[in-house]
Structure 1
Amino acid sequence: MSIVSEVRTGRISVAIVDGVATVEICNPAQRNALTKDMCLEIQKLMPRLDADPDVAVVVLRGAGGTFCAGAAISELASVLVDPQEDGSSVDHLSAADAAVGSLSKPTVALVDGACMGGGWQIASACDFIIANERAVIGLTPAKIGIIYPRPGIERLIRLVGHAKAKYILLTGQTFSATEARALGLVADVVPSESFEEKSAALVSTLRSRSRFSMHSMKRLMDLTDACGSGAAGLDQEWAKAWAAMPDSPDMEIGINAFLTRQQPRFTWRPVG
């Protein structure tokens, strides 16, 4: 199945093949920069993918040789501080970020070429980022006199720590893929000549794993990250997940496959 949504400037497209939804940011005239309409389209698309039983893994990437140049400069105000009738404003970039981050399914950002500003914020909303070794990453709000959105700053601090976060944001420097990995901005770097092959292999690996395991562990890790390990109610969530484990068909399937040295074929699917 393939869905393509056209917008006024640029588009967000998704192709679903064999359980993998590949979401593509496409705005070549502006190096795949995100417009307001593109951010709105991401917000509409993600809940549909989460509810689609045919989708097991979501991949986010940019069209061509660029991931995303961030928020479109020509629409920067409407993307970040869109005024509303009640006098408030809406940060559509962070709303798109939240839509990606709310997916219960495993998500991977494949970063090739430039990943700048809000592009990194959207990529980092995925569970992890795999970068082509030729990728360049920069968080550059200080170069244009704006403040990086709060969700992006908070995630940056969690990933790299306070000192490195300040270094990255206050200098506005651009980093190579290997430098970005050392800082903690990406999970791994893949050689350019094997980027597509190794990325496909990684996605295929995720596709073959237990969806019960991935959904449960992702949810528990996200709750721990958001609330802290000692937060009220977290023990109950862990207890519920632990109690559900023996009832999942995947546990028996996985054990039997291991004992018989076969590839497991997990059957658990999310409800609702």
Structure 2
Amino acid sequence: MTVLSSTERVRSGASSAGRISVSIANGVATVEISNLAQRNALTRDMCWEIQELMPRLEADADVAVVVLRGSGDTFCAGASISELSSVLVDPQPDGTSVDHLSGADAAIASLSKPSVALVDGACMGGGWQIASACDFIIANERAVIGLTPAKIGIIYPRPGMERLVRLVGQANAKYILLTGRTFSATEARALGLVADVVPSASFEEKSAALVSSLRSRSRFSMHSMKRLVDATDAAPSDADREWADAWAAMPDSPDMEIGISAFLNREQPQFRWRPVD
């Protein structure tokens, strides 16, 4: 598999309706949703591009953290209304249909590396589903979030709805979906739709500091704990196996000794663990 170099900038998508682009610097891959004419709405091709890009970022040993954001002052208006059917229920020759939005969701969620969505401006419908596929969402205080399938006569995709219920509970999920309300960033945080809200004046600075802090943490710790948190939804036997494997691997990771030594010597640890190809 071809992977991205640390200095390469890849711009995918021949479609003039939008594109997904990525820039990689200092171990951070910043993935940008860009479709300004439609407030960064996702077309079928853009969903494909996300599905193709995420395995490449996963395979790139130089990428430690993945950041997802929108171009300009909008995160994502959801699935493109003009392509809604082909995005959500694309018919296949065998009579089945494909939900490309949820395919993009699954590609992001499958990353073993930490991922964060930086939400500025509108984050609507499928835009929240894509953002919530990351490990957590940081919102600008001017962000607005709405899950509005009831306004256009559709059903929210299953992966997004199930994640919504896990994050906010059944009653709040029904309230959010059935009313189709748009929430301020502060309201969204209170409901559990985002992890944190950052003032607009310092959004870029604080977001960069957060990503930098993730970059400095032990990759062994982050990869392991991300996998173990996800395993809480798995069958008990699978969760037990994940825990046993992670706990057994901890003494063999160089990061444990490095972290303890740095703490005792009041130094900044320089962690060395890298994922096995």
Q: TM-score range by the shorter chain?
A: over 0.9
**Counterpart residue type for residue 270 of structure 1:** P
Paired residue secondary structure (1:197): helix
**Counterpart residue type for residue 50 of structure 1:** E
Alpha-carbon separation, structure 1, partners of 2:248 and 2:144 = 44
Q: State the TM-score, normalizing by the size of structure 1.
A: 0.98
Q: Which residue of 1 aligns with 2:248?
A: 243
Runs of 4+ in 1 over 2 A off after TM superposition: none
**Counterpart residue type for residue 178 of structure 1:** T
TM-aligned CA deviation for residue 16 of structure 1: 0.2
Q: Deviations over 1:205-227 (max 9, x none)?
A: 000000000000001111213x1
Q: 2:125 aligns with which of 117, 120, 123?
A: 117
TM-aligned CA deviation for residue 4 of structure 1: 1.1
Q: State the TM-score, normalizing by the size of structure 2.
A: 0.96
Q: Which residue of 2 aligns with 1:39?
A: 47
Map residues 102-181 of structure 1 onto 2, 5 A cutoff.
Answer: 102-181=110-189
Contact 1:7 1:38 in 2 (8 A): no
Q: Deviations over 1:116-160 (max 9, x none)?
A: 000000000000000000000000000000000000100000000
Moved more, 253-262 or 215-224: 215-224
Alpha-carbon separation, structure 2, partners of 1:268 and 1:253 = 10
TM-aligned CA deviation for residue 169 of structure 1: 0.1
Equivalent residues, number: 269
Alpha-carbon separation, structure 2, partners of 1:180 and 1:61 = 18
**Counterpart residue type for residue 60 of structure 1:** L
Paired residue secondary structure (1:137): strand
Paired residue secondary structure (2:271): coil
Alpha-carbon separation, structure 2, partners of 1:152 and 1:168 = 13
Paired residue secondary structure (2:252): coil
Alpha-carbon separation, structure 1, partners of 2:238 and 2:65 = 28
TM-aligned CA deviation for residue 7 of structure 1: 3.1
**Counterpart residue type for residue 268 of structure 1:** W
Alpha-carbon separation, structure 2, partners of 1:117 and 1:68 = 9
Q: Which residue of 1 aligns with 2:275?
A: 270
Q: Deviations over 1:169-224 (max 9, x none)?
A: 00000000000000000000000000000000000000000000000000111121
Q: 1:203 aligns with which of 177, 189, 211?
A: 211
Q: Which residue of 1 aligns with 2:11?
A: 4
Structure 2 unaligned runs (5+)? 1-6
Alpha-carbon separation, structure 2, partners of 1:14 and 1:46 = 10
Alpha-carbon separation, structure 2, partners of 1:244 and 1:146 = 46
Structure 1 unaligned runs (5+)? none
Alpha-carbon separation, structure 1, partners of 2:208 and 2:160 = 27
